[in-house]
Amino acid sequence: MPSLSIYAGGLQLNNPILLAAGILGTTGASLCRAARSGAGGVVTKSVGSLPREGHPGPTIVHVEGGLLNAMGLPNPSYKDFQDEIDAARASGVPVIASIFGSFAAEFAQIARSLKADAFELNLSCPHAEKYGSELGRYPDLVESVTGAVKAASNVPVWVKLTPNTADIVELGLAAQRGGADAIVAINTLKAMAIDIETGYPILGNRFGGLSGPAIKPVAVRCVYELAGRLEIPVIGVGGVSTWEDAVEMIMAGASAVQVGTALLRGYGVFEEITTGLSRYLERKSMTLEELCGLAGKEKLQ
């Protein structure tokens, strides 16, 4: 079987299929379980500088083609999260801590205090006041937050971008100028659902973020555009449910792929996707490196 091991975004990964932030990433035990189930690396739920309860419920609703969530960045604060990261690191796969803040020094303070294999900067949550895309839609803020975290830590820094913008490449270039080791694209699309019996928005926060198969073509387009313009690796995320989706994302230019909403099917998705990817590479007599960005180069025979 072809090797799936890859060096991406400053990390050596046994395989390029990673657990995305926000799903099953709140405890060391669930992160370990993802690792034992075949994830090449795991990203934690985003943590900030203070404990947050998050938005009022309902916080999740199923919609056609995916899920709408408005969790509201609930977390115990980074001060009460190191034990979970340490437990997850015992699994042997890289643990990437997703962190958020509302200004550069807040991100830097968290990065200085928390020990992880890498940081993923959440500059893209579409529904939390003063956080996420409220900073991440401005290239100058993306650059300064990235630069501040790079200066505060000595591990790779990944920057997760929002698709809720006219030009995601501009944001990617800003992260690259700030010293990012990789871009993660994309976070959820800002969206809403309304209960037609009552006339009320379903989510407690009214607005949320759409994930799942419905957003995969948007994610593929963003990865393709970013990979075509940036020097740093792009990690693809958004609606990847099957090995075919992962192949498509890698062909668009993703060096690695994160899986989130598909975990609703269970932890078996990691094994399904890595096995399918291996068999595909074997059938096509290709390496992972040859597959990466193929859609921007030449077509398969």
Residue that is written with structure tokens 């019996």 in the block: 197
- Contacts of residue 297, defined as CB under 8 A and 6 or more positions apart, other chains included, come to none
Contact between 30 and ligand SIN by CB under 6 A: the answer reads: no
Pick out residues in 124-143 that bind ligand SIN (CB under 6 A).
124-125, 128, 132
Write down the catalytic residue from 32, 125, 222, 292: 125
The answer to whether residues 111 and 152 touch, using CB atoms and an 8 Å cutoff, is: yes
Q: Which is nearer to ligand SIN, 69 or 255 (CB)?
A: 69
Task: Work out the angle at residue 15's Cα, subtended by the Cα atoms of residues 297 and 247, and round it to the nearest 5 degrees.
Answer: 35
**C-alpha to C-alpha distance for 243 and 154, rounded to whole angstroms:** 33
Contact between 25 and ligand SIN by CB under 6 A: the answer reads: no
Contact between 72 and ligand SIN by CB under 6 A: the answer reads: yes
Q: Which is nearer to ligand SIN, 70 or 250 (CB)?
A: 70
Nearest approach in angstroms of CB 92 to ligand SIN is 26
**C-alpha to C-alpha distance for 17 and 256, rounded to whole angstroms:** 6
Contact between 261 and ligand SIN by CB under 6 A: the answer reads: no
Question: Contact with ligand SIN (CB under 6 A): which of 146, 165, 176, 187?
Answer: 187
Contact between 22 and ligand SIN by CB under 6 A: the answer reads: yes
Stretch that binds ligand SIN, among 2-10, 71-79, 240-248, 268-276 (CB under 6 A): 71-79
Question: Contact with ligand SIN (CB under 6 A): which of 44, 91, 122, 176?
Answer: 122
CA dist 279 → 38, 101, 244, 246, 274 (Å): 16, 41, 11, 13, 9
Contact between 73 and ligand SIN by CB under 6 A: the answer reads: yes
Q: Which is nearer to ligand SIN, 120 or 272 (CB)?
A: 120
Instruction: Tell me, yes or no, if 125 is annotated catalytic.
Output: yes
Nearest approach in angstroms of CB 99 to ligand SIN is 11
Q: Which residues bind ligand SIN (CB under 6 A)?
A: 22, 46, 69, 71-73, 122, 124-125, 128, 132, 187-188, 209
Active site members: 125
